[in-house]
Structure 1
């Protein structure tokens, strides 16, 4: 990934202060055995892994590009497995190693088209046939504030929906069509649209997708 698509210095700098809120949807967990091997790609400080553990899952692995985020994760959850991604999106995991992969608020942090496709390809590789991909991310917003920043940054980044935050990150919001195109190698099982509080305290329209690798 390019520096724009990993933004490690930004995430290290904010590792101790940001809070992530994309929720797990418990009914979707029912498709998984409690012994399922689960990868949380872009796990941050381990919030979602801890929630999975509360639901009875114990074969959990978290990976992230930010050493700062993982330092926080290890402090909060010393018994869990975490690893730094040295060459994202590539993971150190073998083919078909996981029964499920979580991708929560990660695509929004990977603004480039090519980098997003490479990431989804890597997750397809590490998922076992019949395994599930759980995606939670942000749709294109229709409020004036977001429309303005999409417009202001479109020429610089060449993509509608990519924008700079006030504290130095570059993020992306997605159309449904874009997400469908990214997941063409998967079968969509279910989707839902939900309000999500962003890391900077705004309420945005989120989408969650449960997909299956054929």
Structure 2
């Protein structure tokens, strides 16, 4: 069975070919200093790092545990900065040294409660007071296809909403109650729901949250 805290073998193989489509909400970034130190956790092939650079942000770093995805990021965004995490979710950054973190479609890939709590605790550590966390992820979907596979895999993984994809990943869709509990040490600033496509091209509804560290 895959390491459900960090499915690096998948992301270094089948995952290197995927495309990610969750867009950030531009209005949430309007008041952020273009010199702010930003971190894209689970940056994949660098899509968001490139976008933020286009928006004028000057200090953006992408980090990911999958070396092959980071290699792709460095090819596609040669002027950007990327770091491979050898001991994810631990970050080589000092306490309170980051102004903002993006966490896009990452929780869905960290299947266990314990793994998600460890990750959020680490992001909370590196964020400065007043720093922000911009999350985009998937809550439970209402369509029959997803409901069927939630039920199919609930017994195996012990959590309704966890399922296997056909190409070897294990993913998780969440309840809102769980996300609010997970993020209890942050203050909710804004939220929205948008239509996106999964990495396999399926239509889903994404939940986005802008959180602040008190």
Please state which band the TM-score falls in when normalised by the shorter chain: over 0.9
Residue 58 of structure 1: CA displacement? Answer: 1.2
Is 2:12 the partner of 1:12? yes
Give the structure 1 partner of residue 186 of structure 2: 186
Cα deviations by residue, 1:114-165 (Å, 9 ceiling, x for unpaired): 0000100000000000000000001100111101100010011000100000
Give the structure 2 partner of residue 40 of structure 1: 40
Give the structure 1 partner of residue 155 of structure 2: 155
CA distance in 1, matches of 2:156, 2:69: 28
Tell me the SS of whatever aligns to 2:115: helix
Give the root-mean-square deviation of aligned CA atoms.
Answer: 1.0
- Dislocated runs of 4+, deviation >4 Å: none
Residue 15 of structure 1: CA displacement? Answer: 4.3
Give the conservation status (yes or no) of the 8 Å contact 1:11–1:69: yes
Give the conservation status (yes or no) of the 8 Å contact 1:164–1:171: yes
> Does 159-168 or 10-19 show the bigger shift?
10-19
Give the structure 2 partner of residue 168 of structure 1: 168
CA distance in 1, matches of 2:155, 2:14: 27
Q: How many residues align?
A: 213
TM-score w.r.t. structure 1 length?
0.97
Give the conservation status (yes or no) of the 8 Å contact 1:15–1:72: no
Give the structure 2 partner of residue 71 of structure 1: 71
TM-score w.r.t. structure 2 length?
0.97
Listed as ranges, the matches of 1:51-200 within 5 Å are 51-200=51-200
Gaps of 5+ in 1: none
CA distance in 1, matches of 2:102, 2:16: 22
Tell me the SS of whatever aligns to 1:5: coil
CA distance in 2, matches of 1:131, 1:16: 31
Give the conservation status (yes or no) of the 8 Å contact 1:15–1:68: no
CA distance in 1, matches of 2:50, 2:91: 21
Give the conservation status (yes or no) of the 8 Å contact 2:14–2:167: no
Give the conservation status (yes or no) of the 8 Å contact 1:153–1:164: yes
Tell me the SS of whatever aligns to 2:10: helix
CA distance in 2, matches of 1:73, 1:35: 22
